[in-house]
Amino acid sequence: MAAEGSINSFSGRRVWVTGHRGMLGSAMMRNLETSGATLLVAGRAELDLTDAVAVRRWMEENRPELVFHIGAKVGGIHANATLPADFLYDNLMIQTNVIDGAHRTGVEKLVFVASNCTYPTNAEQPITEEAMLTGPLDTNIRAYAVSKIAGIEMCRAYRTQHGSNFVAIIPPNLYGPGDNYHPQHSHVVAGMLRRAHEAKHAGAREFTVWGDGTPRRELLHVDDLAAALKYVMLAPTTHELYNIGCGHDLQISELATLIAEVVGFEGEIVYDRSKPNGTMRKLLDSSKIRALGWLPAVDERAGLATAYADFQRRHTALAQEQAPHRF
Ligand code: GDP
């Protein structure tokens, strides 16, 4: 029997946000600050999510009622291509411990954040939830994708076998404050913001974009996704999987132009074709979440400006501390 039923409010509820220091986790924490929830968090030093015994013990002691399972090992196309074993191992361990722990400790509802790379590369666009497991995956990110597919399947299996109210969601490419700006391991928006910024400040004539600029990506501001996760937690969800997208995508070349404008870089945009394009397109069909009433609120240009402001703030802070570029 499929689990459903709505949660009336967060007020007085014990809510666990895993990965609360990451980009989405901290957006979730900001969003829930005024919700009246008792927010439970466990930093990495306190709880290793890959440790099954520790996770179970922590859940038994802290008794979360609602769980946003956001914590995961994440990274861009390069990180995924070079560290596949880490992505597979960490994510399988973490989500198995959290999802099974949620079942065993009687969590009322769990929302699991998966990824748009779980869909086949040849999926019909826009991609509906039904496209899951219908075709081959992008080889650059296959290990990570398989780990997230296992998490989605866990939510489905626990719903079927135990009646658990566990729901998985799929976001498009996320961006916004708190992003990882690592030169190689970042996602597209953060990577481009950094290189456009560095090109501008070095007085360079060119700013380099990976791939040939023809793939398309759908973007979502992290504050929009946090609001959507809250929405999904409260809504009477009847499906085990929801796409949560803004509904349109941009060509990488268009995104590069937009980012150059936001950063104020006036030189030329060039393409490094030795870097992978990855999947050509992965626009989500988000009609199921729209039918529940959720809509994105952040405009792309304004959203990119908030991301750039965050980059500048952190970049300056780090430079002042003379710390190595480690973000
Ligand atoms: P993906 O959506 O899972 O493939 O992840 P990314 O956020 O890493 O986006 C990758 C797409 O953006 C590919 O088409 C890349 O070729 C392109 N891209 C262009 N410049 C960059 C960059 O600086 N960093 C990253 N990660 N991707 C870039």
For the segment 169-181, what is each residue's pLDDT rounded down to a tens digit? 999 999 999 999 9
- pLDDT class of 4 with cuts at 50, 70, 90: low
Residue 142 lies in a domain: yes
> Going edge to edge, which strands form the sheet with 38-40?
38-40, 14-18, 66-69, 109-113, 166-170, 241-243
User: Distance of CA 241 to CAs 78, 154, 232, Å?
Assistant: 27, 11, 10
Residue nearest to atom 13 of ligand 1 (CA): 277
Mean pLDDT in the chain?
Answer: 93
Answer whether residue 139 is part of any domain: yes
- Which residues belong to the active site? 144
Decide if 50 is inside a domain.
Answer: yes
H/E run at residue 40: strand 38-40
Query: Does the pLDDT value for residue 322 go beyond 70?
Result: no
What CATH number is associated with residue 145? 3.40.50.720
The string of pLDDT tens digits covering residues 52-82 is 999 999 999 999 999 999 999 988 778 888 9
- Of residues 78 and 48, the one with the higher pLDDT is 48
Which residue blocks in 178-299 are alpha helix, DSSP H? Answer: 188-202, 222-234, 252-263, 287-292
Ligand 1: centre distance to CA 219 (Å): 12
Q: How far is CA 323 from CA 187, 317, 319, in A?
A: 22, 9, 6
184 pLDDT band, cuts 50/70/90, is confident
Range of the domain at 241: 14-179+219-247+282-298
Q: Categorize the per-residue pLDDT at 320 as very low, low, confident or very high, splitting at 50, 70 and 90.
A: low
* CA-to-CA separations, 134 to 108, 119, 128, 152, 193, in angstroms, rounded: 31, 8, 11, 14, 35
Q: Is residue 253 part of a domain?
A: no
Residue whose CB lies within 8 A of the most ligand 1 atoms, among 182, 188, 207, for a mutation test? 188
Binding site membership of 182 for ligand 1 (Cβ less than 6 Å): no
The Cα–Cα gap between 59 and 95 comes to 14
- Residue matched to tokens 């013990």: 57
pLDDT band at 3 (very low <50, low <70, confident <90, very high): low
pLDDT one-digit tens code per residue, 201-230: 999 999 999 999 999 999 999 999 999 999
Tokens of residue 308, six digits: 């750039």
Q: How many independent structural domains does the chain possess? A: 1
Domain assignment present for 238:
yes
Ligand 1 pocket, 117 CB below 6 A? Answer: yes
pLDDT (average), residues 106-132? 97
- % of the chain at pLDDT higher than 70: 95
Which of 115, 118, 187, 253 to mutate to test ligand 1, by most ligand atoms within 8 A of the CB atom?
187
Residue 116 lies in a domain: yes
Determine the 3-state secondary structure of 224 from DSSP: helix
This prediction has a pTM of 0.93
Cα separation of 259 and 308, whole Å? 9
Domain membership of residue 9 (yes or no) is no
Residue 105 belongs to some domain of the structure: yes
